[in-house]
Structure 1
């Protein structure tokens, strides 16, 4: 009855409610997205929770480091099902740049525990959200499935490195000496700060850093702001969408 009343009210003004399928909704992309970019976004969609805008920015970042011969490997901290790194691999293949090493740092067993600093943009504690919503904890993807996603891209297997464990335990010992593109997506303050302390110095000058959670998680933002202020790094974090940020290392 409520639904019928809403329909009748809207029709008075010449409107109606129409149900669109998920596929129809996802076909709509910003007008400046090109066909090859949209194709990559569609290919990696099943393995990523990242917005089309953030994947687009990632694609452009990969093209930038490839075209400008920025030295170093590509590193991602927090890979979930591998969608973002798959987008990186597919873009490198398009650029005929297949000599870069790809490093995927993750527990491959789910998210580490948040601390009191980890609060979302609306003020909710991450620890409470994890207790209230079981699906929130399901950010795990076993290494075997992530490996399959990456290998299916066709990128040289010997160039893809899977580093399992908390980043606090695996970085810096398992990290490459030189990095051209650094993508941080571990959400929490402690892990993000650790990544910046040990990996940002290894990022090449004019290399790209992408921070997935800067807008959504206050802990991630705090870690970034603290690090750049403490080290007097004059960096401009450009907005990709409500949460993602991108910058070139000065």
Structure 2
């Protein structure tokens, strides 16, 4: 029996034509075709996650898989009583921090502080090691200006929407190399790193990972996307590499032993 693409000139061009027709047909009814492997399936998540996610997604660039992983990490540390505050390095408009605040508020845990480290003036100058997974230097994008700029007032307003106690929000503006460890909690339960580059990621790990409680969760946003961030993580854990769970193509999750 011949296959659909083996005869009569029905090769890649025929397949492309069929997909194009189907895509146009679906668009007439307000739908869009996507490849199954790219579908961010999180329908198994609880209703409260979806309610929170709808509110925070406009203020973050992370994937829904990463947002679900953050939510589940918070549920885990709260349920198991893992001590420590929530720390995020690389805040942008505050979406992930909003998710953390709303998840903790929903669970009735309002006593943990939320530490938010960012320049609040856009991405700092990248180094020579900061290239993406395709080998493109980050400097090219940085030189365009305005990369991930979100000012402190904007982030404060967004966090205020969560109604998390304002006295438990700690904003640390500036380069992390200058603010950490001068401003840092003694104990951390969830540590989220999202500053993209080699130098900042290595600095954060050196000073903050030792403060992460046993059983605490480390979330690394840029391990797969930026080679510099990956190099920093691999260097820090070179003596005894932990298991890293792959959240999506770029994010990794570690539970501290």
State TM-score, norm by structure 2.
0.86
CA RMSD of aligned residues (A): 2.5
2:253 corresponds to which of 239, 242, 246: 246
1:62-86 per-position Cα deviation (integer Å, ceiling 9, x unaligned): 1111111111111000000000000
Q: Write the mapping of 1:134-149 to structure 2, written as runs, cut at 5 A.
A: 134=144, 137-149=146-158
Name the CA shift for 1:24/1:80 in 2 (closer, same or farther; >3 Å): farther
Measured after TM superposition, the shift of residue 29 of structure 1 is: 4.4
The answer on 1:226 being equivalent to 2:226 is: no
**SS of residue paired to 2:233:** helix
1:236 aligned residue? 243
The answer on 1:30 being equivalent to 2:45 is: no
**SS of residue paired to 1:146:** helix
Measured after TM superposition, the shift of residue 15 of structure 1 is: 2.9
Name the CA shift for 1:142/1:23 in 2 (closer, same or farther; >3 Å): farther
For residues 105 and 21 of structure 1, what CA distance do their matches in structure 2 show? 40
**SS of residue paired to 1:96:** coil
For residues 125 and 110 of structure 1, what CA distance do their matches in structure 2 show? 17
The answer on 1:10 being equivalent to 2:18 is: yes
For residues 28 and 198 of structure 1, what CA distance do their matches in structure 2 show? 34
Question: Which structure has the greater CA radius of gyration?
Answer: 2
The answer on 1:87 being equivalent to 2:99 is: yes
Name the CA shift for 1:227/1:28 in 2 (closer, same or farther; >3 Å): closer
1:65-118 per-position Cα deviation (integer Å, ceiling 9, x unaligned): 111111111100000000000000010011111100100000101111111100
The answer on 1:155 being equivalent to 2:164 is: yes
Query: Which 5+ residue runs of structure 1 have no aligned equivalent?
Result: 1-5
1:174 corresponds to which of 183, 199, 223: 183
1:203 corresponds to which of 197, 209, 212: 212
Measured after TM superposition, the shift of residue 28 of structure 1 is: 7.3
For residues 45 and 101 of structure 2, what CA distance do their matches in structure 1 show? 19
Measured after TM superposition, the shift of residue 24 of structure 1 is: 11
Name the CA shift for 1:193/1:14 in 2 (closer, same or farther; >3 Å): closer
Runs of 4+ in 1 over 6 A off after TM superposition: 20-25
**SS of residue paired to 2:77:** helix
Name the CA shift for 1:207/1:28 in 2 (closer, same or farther; >3 Å): closer
Measured after TM superposition, the shift of residue 41 of structure 1 is: 1.4
1:56 aligned residue? 68
2:112 aligned residue? 100
Question: What is the number of residues matched between the two proteins?
Answer: 237
1:215 corresponds to which of 213, 220, 224: 224
Query: Which 5+ residue runs of structure 2 have no aligned equivalent?
Result: 1-13
2:243–2:254 contact (8 Å) kept in structure 1: yes
For residues 201 and 98 of structure 1, what CA distance do their matches in structure 2 show? 24
Measured after TM superposition, the shift of residue 30 of structure 1 is: 2.9
1:188 corresponds to which of 185, 193, 197: 197
Measured after TM superposition, the shift of residue 234 of structure 1 is: 4.1
For residues 30 and 60 of structure 2, what CA distance do their matches in structure 1 show? 19
State TM-score, norm by structure 1.
0.88
